[in-house]
Amino acid sequence: MIPASCKHSRFLFNRKDSLRRLQTDHIDLYQMHHIDRRTPWEEIWQAMELLVQQGKVIYVGSSNFAGWDIATAQCAAEGRHFMGLVSEQSLYNLNARTIELEVIPACRHYDLGLIPWSPLGGGLLGGLLRKATEGRRADSRMQQQIEQHLSQLKSYEALCQELGEVPADVALAWLLHNPAVTAPIVGPRTVEQLTESLRALEISLSDEMLRQLDEIWPGPGGEAPKAYAW
């Protein structure tokens, strides 16, 4: 068991070394990747408070936290008169909607920004059928994805074609339609791909279109506990 003071020293030293490698003097948003269940929140916030006081970190966020982890973190931060978390980075897309149960309600309650990662489901929502023979989409894992979701993909891509938009842009527009979402994390490989993805900002999805997307890619049924209790 490492004493708290030693853990904090090592933590702060590693952050200083990281800043040097990044060639910067501070981090705008430091996101904790997964919850550390072995370390009390009092120790975590003590270290984060010091980083903020020193100007090495401006804001603190989380990634892949459960709803109750967010609540626990914010309650501990409030007890220390500290801002706590300002954002949560979670897996969220049309095909992965589990966070609608409790994470999104927690983000809304504590006024956290939501930053979805894998907004295209690893390529699944990016026009996969048309590109199934191109590049990494031809690998065995992607072929299994196609086989598993073939019916949904056919309906989805047909709906996008009817709308006159490419599937990737519709998937991003769907995320942006949710007021809880601050911005999805996109992974363009070229400037052209980044420019093309900006089209999602201009797409307006009607209530009917949203209903059809829900039919193709059903979520958990709403927020907990209504989604399963009544």
The answer to whether the predicted template modeling score (pTM) of the entire model surpasses 0.75 is yes
- On whether the CB atoms of residues 66 and 161 are closer than 8 A, the answer is no
- What architecture is domain 4-229? Alpha-Beta Barrel (3.20)
**CA atoms 126, 129, 131, 134: torsion sign:** positive
Radius of gyration over every alpha carbon of the chain, rounded to an integer in angstroms: 20
User: Could you tell me the pLDDT band of residue 20, with boundaries at 50, 70 and 90?
Assistant: confident
Q: What CA–CA distances, in Å, run from 82 to 42, 44, 45, 75?
A: 11, 12, 8, 10
Query: How confident is the model over 169-215, as pLDDT tens digits?
Result: 999 999 999 999 999 999 888 999 899 999 999 999 999 999 999 99
Q: How far apart are CA 176 and CA 203, in angstroms?
A: 10
Q: How far apart are CA 191 and CA 161, in angstroms?
A: 24
Give the phi and the psi of residue 212 in degrees, each rounded to 5: -65, -40
Tokens 């004493």 correspond to: 3
